[in-house]
């Protein structure tokens, strides 16, 4: 796929133009949903512990024996032809009281036209980023688990290269017999280095706390995830909208209470998951991400921006997941995932 350098720049910095959070760090793809399930649930799921190995990229404490001998592959068909994906595998050695996982997360921006200073096309160049990560979880007691990921990052933009190292820390709290779960994750603690990252070396740090509750008389689990909790004000203020005259000649001022309420809800993702069947073999998922909707909305048009949907379906040794995330009027991202059990019994 051929694109112009102008489109390439827009793809990299669009979140910087419309947000205080995106576009100001390197390796921003680390904040993308790693799996179709995460996409369907608003981009984050850090408290649910089951056989889905793709969840460990956000909270390594979720790594558990139900993920053993299952290969998880997810691929996201992003806007403007950008491709993202993730591959995971989990295992537990008999001699250690630790559960391990390894994975690869990547993004490809495609091929771009290369031109000289006067516009003559002299070839093409590609752009991509990747993270190889490995981690482990440990059960402290019957209620608390902890985990950590170590990430090695690489980026390639034409002749420029960049590297980085990051760490994820996570914890999971659950009272045995209770229908609720609590998770906390500190993601992307680290720095980048190399010729590509000389002026900005910060990874996209995030602090998340998540809560989920499964209803007793209905096969439904809802979750609430708070993100960017280390920073209160995450609203982007458009300088062009400040002190603009109204139709009567007065000055439009911002409603402080409304702004604070809006800022509060930007910190949360609200999601739900129907778990049909005795073992939850068929799932319907949906979510609402207020930050995504507010940052990418067009004031004169309505859209499904901020909403996401999806499903999961178990067929013998395979688990198929699909998620669609609506961003704005420009379109949505489609995310497809598959888990393959290398053993005959899915529940082992």
DSSP tag of 160: E
**Is there a contact between 72 and 52 (Cβ–Cβ < 8 Å)?**
yes
pLDDT at residue 194, rounded to an integer: 79
H/E segment holding residue 277: none
Rounded Cα distance between 328 and 14, Å, is 13
pLDDT at residue 329, rounded to an integer: 79
pTM (two decimals): 0.86
H/E segment holding residue 41: none
pLDDT at residue 253, rounded to an integer: 65
What are the φ/ψ torsions at residue 75 (nearest 5 degrees)? Answer: -140, 135
pLDDT at residue 244, rounded to an integer: 56
**DSSP, residue by residue, 88-123:** EEEE--TT-S-EEEEEEEEEEEEEEEEE-TTS-EEE
**DSSP, residue by residue, 280-308:** T-EEEEEEEEHHHHHHH--TTS---TTEE
- Other C-beta atoms closer than 10 Å to the C-beta of 58 total 28
Could you tell me the two tokens for 231? 């920073």
* Nearest CA among 235, 291, 298, 281 for reference residue 42: 291
pLDDT at residue 240, rounded to an integer: 57
pLDDT at residue 312, rounded to an integer: 97
- Label residues 69-94 b or e (16+ Cβ within 10 Å = b): ebebbbbbebeeebebbbbbbbebee
**Is there a contact between 138 and 97 (Cβ–Cβ < 8 Å)?**
yes
In order of 48, 63, 176, 185, 336, the CA distances from 40 in angstroms are 14, 21, 28, 20, 10
Question: Three-class SS of residue 331?
Answer: strand
Q: Which CATH class is domain 2-341?
A: mainly beta
DSSP tag of 263: H
pLDDT in tens, the chain (348 residues): 444 433 333 343 333 333 456 668 889 999 999 999 999 999 999 999 999 999 999 999 999 999 999 999 999 998 888 999 999 999 999 888 999 999 999 999 988 888 888 888 888 889 999 999 999 999 999 999 999 999 999 999 888 889 999 999 999 999 999 999 999 999 999 999 877 777 778 999 999 999 999 999 999 999 999 999 999 999 876 655 555 555 555 555 668 899 999 999 999 999 999 999 877 889 999 999 999 999 888 777 778 899 999 999 999 899 999 999 998 877 899 999 999 998 766 554
Rounded Cα distance between 316 and 203, Å, is 40
Strands 99-115 and 2-3: parallel
pLDDT at residue 165, rounded to an integer: 96
């Amino acid at each position: 796929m051929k694109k112009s350098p102008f489109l390439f720049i827009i793809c990299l910095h669009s979140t910087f133009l419309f947000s205080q959070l995106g576009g100001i760090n390197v390796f921003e793809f680390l904040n993308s949903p790693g799996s179709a399930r995460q996409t369907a649930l608003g981009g984050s799921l850090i408290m649910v512990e089951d056989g889905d190995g793709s969840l460990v990229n956000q909270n390594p404490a979720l790594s558990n024996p139900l993920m053993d001998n299952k290969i998880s592959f997810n691929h996201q068909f992003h806007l403007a032809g950008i491709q993202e994906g993730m591959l995971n595998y989990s295992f537990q050695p008999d001699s250690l009281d630790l559960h391990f996982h390894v994975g690869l997360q990547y993004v490809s921006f495609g091929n771009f036209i290369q031109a000289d200073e006067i516009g003559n096309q002299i070839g093409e160049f590609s752009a991509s980023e990747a993270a190889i990560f490995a981690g482990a979880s440990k059960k402290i007691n019957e209620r608390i688990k902890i985990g950590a990921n170590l990430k090695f990052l690489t980026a390639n933009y034409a002749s420029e290269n960049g590297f980085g190292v990051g760490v994820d820390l996570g914890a999971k709290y659950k009272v045995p017999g209770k229908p609720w779960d609590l998770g906390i994750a500190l993601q992307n603690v680290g720095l980048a280095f190399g010729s590509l990252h000389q002026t900005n070396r910060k990874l996209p740090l995030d602090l998340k706390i998540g809560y989920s509750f499964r209803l007793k008389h209905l096969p439904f689990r809802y979750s609430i995830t708070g993100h960017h909790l280390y920073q209160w004000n995450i609203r982007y203020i458009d300088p062009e909208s400040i002190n603009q005259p109204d139709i009567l000649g007065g000055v439009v001022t911002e409603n402080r209470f409304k702004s604070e309420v809006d800022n509060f809800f930007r910190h949360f993702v609200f999601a739900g998951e129907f778990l049909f069947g005795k073992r939850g073999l068929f799932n319907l998922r949906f979510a609402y991400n207020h930050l995504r909707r507010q940052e990418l909305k067009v004031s004169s048009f309505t859209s499904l921006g901020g909403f996401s949907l999806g499903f999961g379906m178990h067929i013998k040794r395979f688990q198929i997941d699909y998620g669609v995330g609506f961003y704005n009027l420009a379109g949505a991202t489609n995310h497809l995932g598959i888990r393959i059990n290398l053993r005959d019994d899915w529940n082992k």
